[in-house]
Amino acid sequence: MRGAELLIVIVVAVIVAGLAERRNLQAPLVLVAVGSAASFIPGLHRLELAPEVILGVVLPPLLYSTALKFSLFSFLRNVRSILSLGIGMVVITALAVGYSAAWLIPELTLGAALVLGAVVAPPDAVTAAAVGQKLGLPRRTMTVLTGESLVNDAAALTLFTVFVAIVTGTKGLAAAPGLFFVYSSAIGLAVGFVLSTLVRFARSRIDDPSLETVLGLVLPFAAYLAAEEINGSGVLAVVMAGFAMGHNATDASVGTRISERQVWNTVSLLLETFVFAYMGLQLKFVIDDVQREGLPTHHVFAWALVILAIVIAIRPLTIVAVRGAQWAVSRILRRPPRPIDWRRDVIVSWTGMRGVVTLAAAGGVPLAAGSEEFPGRGVILAVAFVVAVGTLLIQGLTLPILIRRLGVDSAADATWLADQRHLARKISSDAAIATLDELRQHPPAKLTKAQTEAMTQIMKRWTSARAATEEAEQEEEAQERSARNAKFGAALNQLRHRVQTEQRRALIAARDARELDDDVMREALENLDAEQAATQARL
């Protein structure tokens, strides 16, 4: 597709997403529906990107942006649930779909059917975050779903590589699936960590927010391509880089943090709207591909709907089976069973929406297997599209109803979140008071005692809740004018900067000690960044 047409699609997608948000609709679902309808416009050229472009250009910034904002501590707290869904569920889905498709669809050999299973196995990171946040899912549920979606792409693409190698007769690491998975995971994690460390080191030697932001923009692409070049997992390289940069974002300068935050919000919004529009725009052309290969359209799409039903059913059935096995083991060992939040399990079992990774993997199926055509490649493409769009529309449209019926929302997190925010304010206030007490004990030699006291009182009001009121602002301005001389204003701004620095250190220390939630700390630091940027402008 030509560049001008691609830009038009992006602009229209952004407009449609904006209109959907204004009407309180789920933008991903609206974009897919509108894109599907638009694909039948006469004369419309096919929007077709090579799988390498989707996986190497579109996917890395989306994964990186999600990992950048995702708490490493939250990931570690829920690591068992995340890995069981992100790896275990992918393997179960790939095998179940593969064997079912081999039995149901005549055009597919067992190997080709397993390739299809790997293609449709991973739920999508973009879809999980976009739909889940819109619906206000509970905090822990969103943590597990987002963490799962960061891991499962690596597991699914590894299985995809293994099964394609089996069908095509390719030799190498992929011939030993377990070894290949361990190798690709280890290499991917190492590459992501090393490159993020190099970027952080370079940033510490640069004092230019624009250049530092550019380094951050390049990092996910470099991590993905470098890992893939040595047969590592590019997905895990990007995720590790995002975790490392996000967890250590407090080391960057205020200007860099503000700039990078805005840049990644914009990049994520742009790519997310494009991804959902791209999915919808494939509908007519997938039908054309099936007809061009001489396959009976009704036959192919009928089996695609059956596979869609299997994909949707596997997740809840597996979760029920796992819970049943846990209960049985507890009874055998005569231990009290672990408490089960069945409402949460129901929600998690119904959030397996697929996305652009499924379409990209399907497009990456090779044209030939040795000297023959790859068996059932057109069927794989058609089924992958039906599964991706079908799960998004069916589960995405019914998920809000399910949440309302079960009474599941984020209201239960409100008390805990309020306590954490109160703790963050207390930590900041205590750090400010300690800094001001030190100022009283060691006043600047260039200021009089009265000026030091006036500056202290101004800072106390500035760091309290009363600083936002009009009366407090007028009082502060009057006292500042009464004590001002040529050195007072500069000293006051330097003190503000010092207080803010100590507040930042105190918040980070509380996070590292696991006293303060990572996400709450980031929220507090965002507010502090805005204040510190204003202070630095005065220095």
d(CA 174, CA 118): 14
pLDDT confidence of residue 466: 39
β-bridge mates for residue 368, sequence order: 373
How many Å is the maximal CA-CA distance in the chain? 91
- pLDDT tens across 265-278, in order? 888 888 888 888 88
Ramachandran area for residue 296 (φ above 0: left; ψ -120 to 50: alpha; else beta) = beta
pLDDT confidence of residue 193: 96
pLDDT confidence of residue 538: 56
pLDDT confidence of residue 504: 86
pLDDT confidence of residue 396: 81
Encoded amino acid at 517, one letter: D
pLDDT confidence of residue 358: 87
Spatial CA neighbour of 392 closest among 358, 430, 429, 343: 358
pLDDT of the chain, 539 residues: tens digit per residue: 566 777 888 888 889 888 888 887 778 888 888 888 888 888 777 777 788 888 888 889 988 998 898 888 888 888 988 999 889 999 999 999 999 999 998 888 898 999 999 999 998 756 656 666 666 677 788 888 888 888 888 888 888 888 888 887 766 655 677 788 888 889 999 999 999 999 999 988 888 888 989 999 999 999 999 999 998 899 999 999 999 998 888 888 788 888 888 888 888 888 888 888 888 888 888 888 777 767 777 888 889 999 999 999 999 999 999 888 888 888 787 777 677 778 888 888 888 888 878 888 888 888 766 667 788 888 898 899 999 889 988 988 888 788 778 877 666 677 778 888 888 888 888 888 787 777 677 666 666 566 666 666 666 666 664 344 445 555 555 555 544 554 566 666 777 777 888 888 888 888 888 888 888 888 888 888 877 776 665 55
pLDDT confidence of residue 469: 47
Spatial CA neighbour of 506 closest among 436, 426, 441: 426
Query: Residues with Cβ < 8 Å from 230, sequence gap 6 or more?
Result: 187, 191
What are the respective helix, strand and coil percentages of the chain, to the nearest 5?
A: 80, 0, 20
Q: Residues 528, 534, 538, 539: what is their CA dihedral angle, to the nearest 10 degrees?
A: 40
Secondary structure letter of residue 122 according to DSSP = P
Spatial CA neighbour of 399 closest among 150, 142, 67: 142
pLDDT confidence of residue 465: 46
d(CA 480, CA 492): 9
- Residue 223 corresponds to which tokens in the numbers above? 């991590």
pLDDT confidence of residue 243: 92
pLDDT confidence of residue 286: 84
pLDDT confidence of residue 118: 93
pLDDT confidence of residue 288: 81
pLDDT confidence of residue 487: 58
pLDDT confidence of residue 470: 47
- Residue 5 corresponds to which tokens in the numbers above? 């047409």
Whole-model pTM? 0.84
Three-state secondary structure call for residue 439: helix
Asked if 183 and 173 count as a contact pair (C-beta separation under 8 A), the reply is yes
